[in-house]
Amino acid sequence: MAKVRILLAALLALGVGATGIVLAAPAQAAAVTATFSKVQDWGSGYEAKMTITNGTGSTVNGWTVAFDLPAGSGVGSYWDALLTSSGNRHTFRNREYNGTLAAGASTTFGWIGRGSGVPAGCTVNGAPCGGGPAPTTPPPTSVPPTSAPPTSAPPTTPPPTGGTPVATNGQLRVCGTKLCNQRGTPVQLRGMSTHGIQWFPNCYSSAAFDALATDWRADVVRISMYVQEGGYETNPRLFTDRVHSYIEQVSARGMYVIVDWHMLDPGDPNYNLSRARTFFTEIAQRHAGKPNIIYEVANEPSGVSWSSIKSYAEQIIPVIRAQDPDGVVLVGTRAWSSLGVSEGSNENEVANNQVNATNIMYTFHFYAASHGQNYLDTLSRAADRIPMFVTEFGTQTSSGDGTNDFNRAQQYLNLMATKQISWVNWNFSDDSRTGAVFTTGTCPNGPYAGTSRLKPAGTWIRDRIRNR
């Protein structure tokens, strides 16, 4: 029997190896393994993915992956795990939703690597990441006990000091569940949405955009072009040219711009698929060279399944990518972009069946006086699993009118600050409703700076954009 054991050990040893940038050897029997790979590499850093696989015959309840990075390299943002670091040693633990792995099951987590160094000395649950017995001596830096509190996510990039948002952050991209700048650092954009540009064009003058850039200190402006309701459908040339003009004005002031395909009624985005192809082809062709363009391809789908919305997104995103391969794309979610909550669902339908595309985020809309704890909790859970961007919210009811609920709205803003979710408020106009920031008659002459012409909601939101 001793000879049999020796021979078996020798055969297993011959199977241990790795190629390229994959750390783990072919999985040995009855082992939990962790495999490292690079999703993207831009020289000064990379997006990393670690895949944990339960090769044992029983369920694993919890995992811990630890490794060293060489001097000069480190971990930036991360997702789907909790991180503690000590010197060059980095330890990732499962989140509450991905710690249990049935026999044969896998899960992943990721991070942004700073520098070019890749993990070494990798262990999973104390054993080598490639499988095999646990070492007889502890690693150079022992793994902190499970009771030790994890470090928080890296702080959001601070507001520009002497530079515009675009000059400071450059071309944005999605890294894991975060929106990141050109250096791979998470950013949280804050800004305002126009109202329908068919109704309030005199609110979007040079003076108005100046105020947004310098007095409000906005990072981003959302241009809401309704498709129906007297919008694009009635005169595609007029409204496309109007959007071009607003893009140029916002870009000249160094802010990001969301091009909002504001489909509302009917709620099925596929109804406008042909129009969307025409519109986004032209927008992306003309503005692909700009680093500040964000495409929102379906404002508020309603009365339609998530699979239909997903199908629409997977048809329109390639149209944009053919012209602009780098721009972030925002995809609306079911039930007026509530992740399905307003029609009795939740974030699982999106998280478990994501759009087959990269560099995308999913949108969430809320109105504080209408959308309470269930909506807030849904956004919180979703942001831990998928990239989220709140492209529309108000402090009043879902009609954009009525009493402001600033307390509930602040709860949302606190959550979004903690989870680095970018947001845009509805709306920058002088509409009569309480959700419009200006008193009736402010446009077209202003003033747009200061607080003299602001309603209570306008004063509240301006303060929260200005003061980080």
Residues 332-380 have pLDDT tens digits of 999 999 999 999 999 999 999 999 999 999 999 999 999 989 999 999 9
Q: If pLDDT is split at 50, 70 and 90, which confidence band does 111 have?
A: confident
* Rg of the chain on CA atoms, in Å: 25
The pTM for the full model equals: 0.70
Q: Which of 38-47, 87-96, 248-257, 313-322 has the lowest mean pLDDT?
A: 38-47
Give domain 169-466's CATH architecture.
Alpha-Beta Barrel (3.20)
- Distance in angstroms (rounded) separating the CA atoms of residues 229 and 432: 18
Q: What stretches of 137-233 show up as alpha helix (H) in DSSP?
A: 165-169, 206-214
Q: Is there a catalytic annotation at residue 233?
A: no
Least reliable range by pLDDT among 110-124, 145-159, 204-218, 337-351: 145-159
Distance of CA 234 to the CA centre of its chain: 33
Give the residue-averaged pLDDT of 367-394: 96
> Which member of 47, 296, 347, 392 is catalytic?
392
pLDDT-wise least confident of 10-19, 109-118, 129-138, 288-297: 10-19
Q: Which residues pair with 293 in a beta bridge?
A: 257
Contact 50, 78 (CB under 8 A): no
Strand partners, 108: 51
* Annotation marks residue 248 as catalytic: no
Span(s) in the chain for CATH 3.20.20.80: 169-466
- The one-letter amino acid code at 144 reads P
162 has a pLDDT exceeding 90: no
Q: In the chain, which residues fall in CATH 2.60.40.290?
A: 21-128
| Active-site hit among 47, 296, 300, 347 | 300
- Considering the segment(s) 21-128 as one domain, its CATH architecture is Sandwich (2.60)
Question: Within a 13 Å sphere around the CA of 432, how many CA atoms are in the beta-carbon half?
Answer: 0
